[in-house]
């Protein structure tokens, strides 16, 4: 138990790099509903790695500010302190954002650092790895729907909610489909025909019985 303000300050500063890294990573990849205890473990692990990598630099700062008493005597370079403070906060944020981007875009190094499958459900795993696709959906009522996974001509993008939220799927472009047989209506170029005047399609996963996904 931390009993003094100084001890609390040291603990916060020690965990800050890991916390900043984790929050930046989850901002890109989503946190998949991890609990506070899970995040605390991540903070500790990420902070330990970053402090190990920056040990030489941290020792130099300690000697410069404490051993040489520049901080007490007021002789420390204020601009240097400002740069160090910004680097201490922004550095882990940048690293977390880059690692999250690599994981989200299926880079091998991103997968190596974060893990091959951090998603808790097949629903989350599927949509993170599907960029552009024609999606046919059979509802539990027996009706078929179809839409486009990706970015529509109007600039709207598809979206699938992540754990722990209930799964729902938004497709920015819906296609004409036979509601009974699930057969898509195709034009002369064998391309699906968009539903005239429709702005998209949103379906909850509790209503879905079957998904057919054709990536391209």
Q: Is the domain of 48 the same as that of 109?
A: yes
Q: What is the mean pLDDT of the chain?
A: 82
Residue 194 domain boundaries: 122-215
pLDDT band at 212 (very low <50, low <70, confident <90, very high): very high
Q: Is the domain of 87 the same as that of 158?
A: no
> What is the pLDDT at residue 177?
94
DSSP string covering 21-63: HHHHHHHHH--TT--HHHHHHHHHHHHHHHHHHTHHHHHHHHI
The CATH number assigned to the domain holding 146 equals 2.30.30
Q: Is the domain of 106 the same as that of 155?
A: no
Q: Is the domain of 79 the same as that of 130?
A: no
Average pLDDT on 75-104 reads 83
**195-211 per-position pLDDT tens digit:** 988 778 999 989 999 99
Q: Is the domain of 20 the same as that of 49?
A: yes
Tokens linked to 167? 């799964």
Of 64, 92, 114, which marks where a domain is finished?
114
**96-116 per-position pLDDT tens digit:** 888 888 877 778 887 777 766
Position with higher pLDDT, 6 vs 200: 200
Could you tell me where the beta strands, DSSP code E, fall in the chain? 133-139, 144-149, 159-160, 168-171, 173-174, 201-204, 208-215
Its pTM stands at 0.63
Q: How many domains does the chain have?
A: 2
Q: Is the domain of 27 the same as that of 108?
A: yes
């Amino acid at each position: 138990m931390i009993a003094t303000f100084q001890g609390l300050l040291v603990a916060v500063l020690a965990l800050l790099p890991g916390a900043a890294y984790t929050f930046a990573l989850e901002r890109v990849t989503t946190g998949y509903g991890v609990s506070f205890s899970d995040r605390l473990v991540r903070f500790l692990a990420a902070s330990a790695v970053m402090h190990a990598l920056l040990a030489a630099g941290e020792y130099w700062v300690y000697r410069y500010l404490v051993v040489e008493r520049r901080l007490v005597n007021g002789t420390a370079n204020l601009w240097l302190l400002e740069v160090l403070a910004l680097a201490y906060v922004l550095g882990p944020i940048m690293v977390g954002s880059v690692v999250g981007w690599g994981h989200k875009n299926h880079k091998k190094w991103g997968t190596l650092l974060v893990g091959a499958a951090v998603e808790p459900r097949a629903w989350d795993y599927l949509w993170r790895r599907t960029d552009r696709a024609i999606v046919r959906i059979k509802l539990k009522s027996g009706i078929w729907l179809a839409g486009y996974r990706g970015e529509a001509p109007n600039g709207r993008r598809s979206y699938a909610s992540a754990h722990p939220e209930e799964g729902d799927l938004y497709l920015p472009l819906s296609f004409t489909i036979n509601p009974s047989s699930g057969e898509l209506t195709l034009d002369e170029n064998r391309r699906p025909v968009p539903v005239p005047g429709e702005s998209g399609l949103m379906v909850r996963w509790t209503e879905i019985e079957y998904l057919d996904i054709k990536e391209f």
